[in-house]
Every structure is written in structure tokens, then in C-alpha cells.
Amino acid sequence: MHIAIAGNIGVGKTTLCKMLSKHYKWNPLYEAVDHNPYLDDFYNDMQRWSFNLQVFFLNSRFRQVQDILKSKKTIIRDRTIYEDAYIFAPNLQSMGLMTQRDYENYLELFKLMESFVSPPDLLIYLRSDVPSIVNKIQNRGRNYEEGIRIDYLKRLNERYEAFFESYNHNNLVIQANEIDFQKNKEDFGLIIEKIDSNLSGLF
């Protein structure tokens, strides 16, 4: 079984992934952040490094999908390949931070990969407003995230909402700015209840 978590930067995907993997004894797969050679450069000069960053993420997530297909275990991951293609890349292009030529090249590559990809059995969307996201980003203190633009986060949020309006596979929406699942056991318990209820219909 394949479970995935989606959501804007800093919303708590990795934290929830760790907590759910521990609770359910699922195998976690994490986004390649610490070993990403482009993140620092990207946040310093988005226009110059946007295409390089997106191709790196696309390659990394496609490899993860291949690992999931080979595995007989239940896998949970903290980002999906769909977010790269339907949220981050078009957002960069629309903001003038990725050229049309690079964007079209990127989409062709994604379409090829997509033919080998199946949607997760459950996609959990952590929804949050921008002020809450900014607060979480500041609290975790990653140096390369200090220069993230507010309008960039706002546009990403808008694209996430549009994506999930049209997403027609099994999904669960969690209002992340209304709960604290990391520190409050009751809030985490509510997420568990919703996941259990959702997954019970799959078997």
C-alpha cells in the first residue's frame, strides 16, 4: 500500500510522515532536502536555478515511485510527484521564474514518467494558511528558507487548492493550522481516526 502526504512548504509533512510511520509501522520515504545540491542556490536566485531544482526533485520522486512499486510493504512518503508537475513547476513558470522553454521541456519529461506512475492509495493533504506556514518555517530555522517570498507561498497555496478540487482519487484533507498534531496527542488521535476510517473502505 502507498500513502502520501501533500502540502505547502513548512506545513508539517515530514513530521506527520514520521509520526504515522511509527504509529502504523509503515516504511517512510522522505523528500531529498538535506542532500539537495540546488536548494541554497534556488532560494538565492529562483529564476536561475528553478529548472535545475525541479528536475532534481522529479528524478528523486520518480526513483521513489519505482522503489514503492518493487516493495511489498506499506510505504508512506512526505511529497508526491504530482505536486512538482501540477503545483511547483507551473507556479514558477507563471511567476516568470522559469522560462516557457524550460517549462515545456520539464512537462514532457514528467508526462513520460507519469505513464509509469500510479496515484497513492491515500493522499493526505495538509491544508494551512500562509501566516501559519511562515511561522512554522521561521521556527524550524532552515537557513536556505529565510528568503522564501510570501507571494511565492501564497501562489503555491492557491495551486494546492485548485489541484485538490480536481483530484479524483482517494484523499483526506487535514486542516493543519487548526490543530497541533506534533504536540497534542488528541489532535494526532483525530488524524488517526480519519485515516483508519478512510483506509477501512479499501479492504
Catalytic residues: 78
Closest by Cα among 69, 86, 54, 74 to 4: 74
CB-count exposure of residue 32 (10 Å: 0-12, 13-18, 19+): middle
User: Which residues have C-beta within 8 Å of that of residue 21, sequence separation ≥ 6?
Assistant: 27, 28, 76
Instruction: Report how far residue 198's alpha carbon sits from residue 58's, in angstroms, rounded to the nearest whole number.
Output: 28
DSSP state of 11: S
**For helices 185-200 and 13-24, what crossing angle results, to 10°?**
70
Nearest-5° Cα angle at 132, 76 to 21: 15
Contact 130, 158 (CB under 8 A): no
The 3-class secondary structure across 57-103, one letter per residue, is: HHHHHHHHHHHHHHCCCCEEECCCHHHHHHHHHHHHHHCCCCCHHHH
Contact 50, 101 (CB under 8 A): no
